[in-house]
Amino acid sequence: MAAAADEIQPSETPPLLLVHRLPRFKLSFFPFLQTEYTVLDPLADPPDPSFPDLSKSARIMLCVGPTPVGSDELDRYPAVECVVGSSAGLNHIDLAACRRRGVRVTSAGDAFSDDVADYAVGLAIDVLRRVSAADRFVRAGSWPVQKEYLLGSKVSGKRVGIVGLGSIGSRVAKRFEAFGCTIAYNSRSIKSHVTYTYYANVVDLASNTDILIVCCALTNETYHVINKDVMTALGKTGIIVNVGRGALIDENELVEFLVRGEIGGAGLDVFEHEPNVPKELLTLDSVVLSPHKAVFTPESFAALEKVVLGNIQAFFSNKPLLTEI
């Protein structure tokens, strides 16, 4: 009997995984996480009575979507050593506060890059060729009545300027190369591995661009990087596509330029005050609007799951994180 008793080992408590999310955000693989970890969710229904005590011991935080992480959150969870992000952008995480505390941070890495690049090209084609506007024209019954429909503009051979030649921007460039477009870019530094023309100033880039793609990270330096001067340089036939963050563009100026016809159009997946969209844009056929969905496909979610789970597993195994910034 004693030998049999010795064979029975007490089960280990699964590692603590703190989930940090806004009420509207929840990842599809939460159920799997609950089989591997003690998941601490402050928004659990019903509430977990052990959360207040256990959360103070959690060493890793899973930040879902753009849920803010700053000094207050890090004070609330003093044992956190790593924040695992699930979005490509990191403007919602106070990286300086994390660095001061020695907290490591990861992002979604390349999980969304292909899908966002596809979407950016799609928005540009839609604006130039007026695909969505043509759809509305037909659905409204205007074709038999008006006969003529305003011509769109050719995509092939255009000059494409990319603000932010990172994971997404480089993929955008490759897609437009297939259209015979010439590529130029602005980035934090010159990319030695590409032959595209580099402009240190976004105004200069816009002056030599027909299609301006905005896909850089939102930081203090890039806030309103697309301003009045950039739009003026882009001119009446140039278009802007934004798949980065809304605040990369001075939205008030953008509305004025579009309403006055001082730029050719815009394809916008992101806005400065989401989910609110300036009402002036709703009636403009030169503008294609999208509800911040460029990243969302079944394939991107599968890739995100792999990255997030890989980072969590690496942390608890004391291995290098997959997408540490």
Residue 292 bears catalytic tag: yes
Question: One-letter amino acid identity for 123?
Answer: L
Measured at the alpha carbon of residue 131, what is the angle toward residues 127 and 133, in degrees to the nearest 5? 85
Supply the angle between the helices 113-129 and 298-316 in degrees, to the nearest 10: 150
C-alpha to C-alpha distance for 135 and 194, rounded to whole angstroms: 38
Active-site choice (81, 177, 274, 299) = 274
Residue 27 CA to its chain's centroid (Å): 16
Active-site choice (21, 245, 251, 253) = 245
Residue 273 bears catalytic tag: no
Active-site choice (175, 262, 292, 324) = 292
| Contact criterion met (CB below 8 Å) for 153 and 237 | yes
C-alpha to C-alpha distance for 153 and 176, rounded to whole angstroms: 15
Q: What share of the chain is helix, strand, coil (3-state, %, to 5)?
A: 40, 15, 45
C-alpha to C-alpha distance for 62 and 52, rounded to whole angstroms: 17
CA neighbor of 245 nearest in space, from 168, 171, 308, 188: 168
Residue 274 bears catalytic tag: yes
Q: Which residues are catalytic?
A: 245, 274, 292
